[in-house]
Homo-oligomer: A and B are copies of this chain.
Amino acid sequence: MKPLFLLTNDDGYQASGLTTLIDIARGFGDVVVMAPEKNASGQSHSFTVDYPLYVSTVVKEQGLSVYYCNGKPVDCIKLGVEHFCPRQPDMVLSGINHGSNSSINILYSGTMGAALEAATIGIPAIGFSLLDHSAAADFSGSIPYVRSIIDSALKNKMQQGTALNVNIPAIESDKLKGIRVCRQSKASWLDAYRKVRDQQGRDCYWLAGRFQCDDNGEGTDQWALEHGYVSLVPITTDFTDTDSLSKTRCIYERIFKK
């Protein structure tokens, strides 16, 4: 039986990054797409609480169904798996995002929220991102890498509850140096809001932000990307800071000990 893929993104169902990913995935098997109607960047792992979701069909043919809905990337996974896939998908693919989701950007990313949601329900998932924010980004250089990573992920069973965060420099394929498996760099977004006056003279705050990363030594995703490699970080939905468990235990378990 051919593998079944569920695809989504956070740039909306018409984004060229998603179209590229559909073309690649169809080379491996059957494809169901459930994507947000509009851009849902920065939606992280949020889901829709306040209103019902409506679904529209764009394509329905042998081996390919494309739907969009008024939900967020995480909604798309839940809805796609439960109501629009003929069976549990073998793999979820999210992206190809227009813009980086390396380092701390994974926290805010709807693309990676979708991949992590798939991981929570035990479906192997890969999020792909190209380091070019523009709507007209050129995905051609990324294609051989995306294809080979999917191929390897199908052949090598991924551990349940994990996913892959793949980021790709926006350069030609033959200039990419290969793939580096990395840990996520520590970083932060500073100066996030700029104070401005609106047309009525009221103060308000517009999103701005400056990416600050001092953790870009070899072994990090920032290092890989800055040196022309595709970065691949295996990621988990377990937020436990395992390293500090025993120290934390010494401090807090003493309180009210009975």
Contacts and interface: CB of A to CB of B under 8 A. Distances in A.
Given A54-B202, A78-B192, A256 B148 contact: yes
B245 A235 contact: no
A234 to B, nearest CB: 4
Q: Which interface residue of A74, A159, A235, A239 has the most chain B CB atoms within 10 A?
A: A239
A141 interface: no
A149 to B, nearest CB: 7
A136 interface: no
A241 B235 contact: yes
A43 interface: yes
B205 A245 contact: no
Interface in A101-130: 104, 106-108, 110, 113, 116-117, 120-122
A52 B241 contact: no
Contacts of A249: 181
Nearest to A207: B49
A75 to B, nearest CB: 8
B233 A52 contact: no
Interface string A147-164: 011001000100101101
B83 A193 contact: yes
Contact of A83 (B44, B104, B156, B195): B195
Nearest to A255: B148
A236 interface: yes
B41 A43 contact: no
Interface string A221-239: 0000000000011111111
Contacts of A233: 239-240
Q: Specify which of A43, A78, A165 lies most central, judged by the most chain B CB atoms within 10 Å of its CB.
A: A78
A52 B205 contact: yes
A255 B184 contact: no
A161 B110 CA distance: 22
19 contacts: A44-B44, A45-B107, A46-B108, A47-B108, A54-B203, A78-B193, A82-B192, A104-B120, A120-B188, A149-B252, A156-B251, A159-B241, A159-B244, A176-B256, A181-B245, A181-B249, A183-B238, A235-B241, A236-B239
